[in-house]
Amino acid sequence: MSPSRKILWAPNPSFLEAGKSTIKVLADGRFSVWHRKGVTMSWMGPREDAENAFKVRLSLRTALGDKAYAWDTNEEYLFKAMVAFSMRRVPNREGTEISHVLLCNVTQRVSFWFVVTDPSRNHTLPAVEVQSAIRLPLVAVSGGCSSLRMNRNRINNAFFLNDQTLEFLRIPATLAPPTDPSVPIWIIIFGVIFCIVIVATMLLILSGIRQHRRKNKGPSEMEDTEDKWENTVKIENGIPCDPLDMKGGHVNDAFVTEDERLTPL
């Protein structure tokens, strides 16, 4: 972290024009400007201007690993270009140039501050405008907000980064809008399984009832035929026949014949 520079009065704010200077925001809201050659000057800008500066933080190593590129002045130029591009899409700001975007206090992290000045370079543009230009919604909006996030996505893509690795601080984080489907998924699956179980239960119960009915019919039918058989036998012969010969099931014929066939040991 660089120690605070000695503060001098700037003779002319037009020094900012050439793009050779960068602005540092001090804790009490004053700006200090220092030239690349090491000369420092300060400009007591209005306090509001300090509030219009944004801190940006990039995490190149985290995002890209070995493919991380070095952050140099060319990258800074690209960043200024992206911010200027975003500003141009704001109504009344179509004339924003790259030189209107000022970066300062670039650290090793990589992090820096930037402000966007108006064409006259007298004051900085309000934070709200810059925010809306980069399309950082203050409040999460549900549903697709692709058009709103377009500029932010383009800035991210220019650097191969995403919202987590290219952070604009001092701005409340955009929380991912919750995606609520109209019918919760779990109810659908529940409904399917519920119906399957009910259908299977009904099938089992019905087949059980049918089996019961068949069993109830079965013995009663058998009893009828047996009675008929008995009656016919009695009627036909007049003499009650030996029940053992007539009634099936009381004697296992297989065993009877076996005993007769096999010679006893």
Partner 1 sequence: MDEARPLWATPLQFVFACISYAVGLGNVWRFPYLCQMYGGGSFLVPYIIMLTVEGMPLLYLELAVGQRMRQGSIGAWRTINPYLSGVGVASVVVSFFLSMYYNVINAWAFWYLFHSFQDPLPWSVCPLNGNRTGYDEECEKASSTQYFWYRKTLNISPSIQESGAVQWEPALCLILAWLLVYLCILRGTESTGKVVYFTALLPYCVLIVYLVRGLTLHGATNGLAYMFTPKSGIPTRGSPALSLLAFQMEQLANPKAWINAATQIFFSLGLGFGSLIAFASYNEPSNNCQKHAVIVSIINSSTSIFASVVTFSIYGFKATFNYESCLNKVILLLTNSFDLEDGFLTVSNLEEVKSYLASAYPSKYSEVFPQIKNCSLESELETAVQGTGLAFIVYTEAIKNMEVSQLWSVLYFFMLLMLGIGSMLGNTAAILTPLTDSKVISSYLPKEAISGLVCLVSCAIGLVFTMEAGNYWFDIFNDYAATLPLLLIVLVEAAAVCYLYGLRRFESDLKAMTGHALNWYWKAMWGGVSPLLIISLFVFYLSDYIITGTLQYQAWDASQGQLVTKDYPPYALAIIGLLVASSTMCIPLGALGTFIVRRLKRRDTASVA
* 91-120 residues near partner 1, rule: CB under 8 A: 107-111
Least separation, in Å, of the C-beta of 54 and partner 1? 15
Query: If binding is defined by CB under 8 A, does position 190 make contact with partner 1?
Result: yes
Quote the least distance from Cβ 136 to partner 1, whole Å: 14
| Under rule CB under 8 A, residue 216 binds partner 1 | no
Q: Looking only at residues 231 through 250 of this chain, which bind partner 1 when binding is defined by CB under 8 A?
A: none
**177 in Cβ contact with 145 (< 8 Å):** yes
Q: How far is the CB of 145 from partner 1 (least distance, A)?
A: 13
Residue selected from 25, 56, 58, 104 as contacting partner 1 according to rule CB under 8 A: 58
Of 95, 194, 213, 217, the one binding partner 1 by CB under 8 A: 194
* Count of residues that interact with partner 1, criterion CB under 8 A: 34
Rounded Cα distance, 103 and 208, in Å: 83
How is residue 9 annotated by DSSP? B
The stretch near partner 1 (CB under 8 A) out of 91-99, 143-151, 196-204, 232-240 is 196-204
Q: 21-25 and 54-58 as β-strands: parallel, antiparallel, unpaired?
A: unpaired
Are 125 and 92 contacting, i.e. CB atoms less than 8 angstroms apart?
Answer: no
The span from the CA of 41 to the CA of 104, in Å, is 14
What is the number of other CB atoms lying within 10 angstroms of the CB of residue 117? Answer: 22
Residue 125, number of CB atoms within 10 A of its CB: 20
Which x/- pattern, by CB under 8 A, does the window 2-21 give for partner 1? Answer: --------------------
In the three-class reduction of DSSP (H, G, I as helix; E, B as strand; rest coil), residue 180 is classed as coil
- Per DSSP, the three-state class of 139 is coil
Question: Does residue 210 touch partner 1 according to CB under 8 A?
Answer: no
Q: Strands 111-116 and 54-58: what pairing?
A: antiparallel
Relative orientation angle of helices 146-158 and 73-88, to the nearest 10 degrees: 160
Nearer to partner 1, 27 or 235 (CB): 27
CB-based contacts of 177, cutoff 8 Å, min separation 6: 140, 141, 142, 143, 145
251 binds partner 1, rule: CB under 8 A: no
State the binding string over 142-181 for partner 1 (x if CB under 8 A, else -).
Answer: ------------------------------x--x-xx---
Question: Which parts of this chain interact with partner 1 (CB under 8 A)?
Answer: 1, 57-62, 68, 107-111, 139-140, 172, 175, 177-178, 185-187, 189-190, 193-194, 197-198, 200-201, 204-205, 208, 212
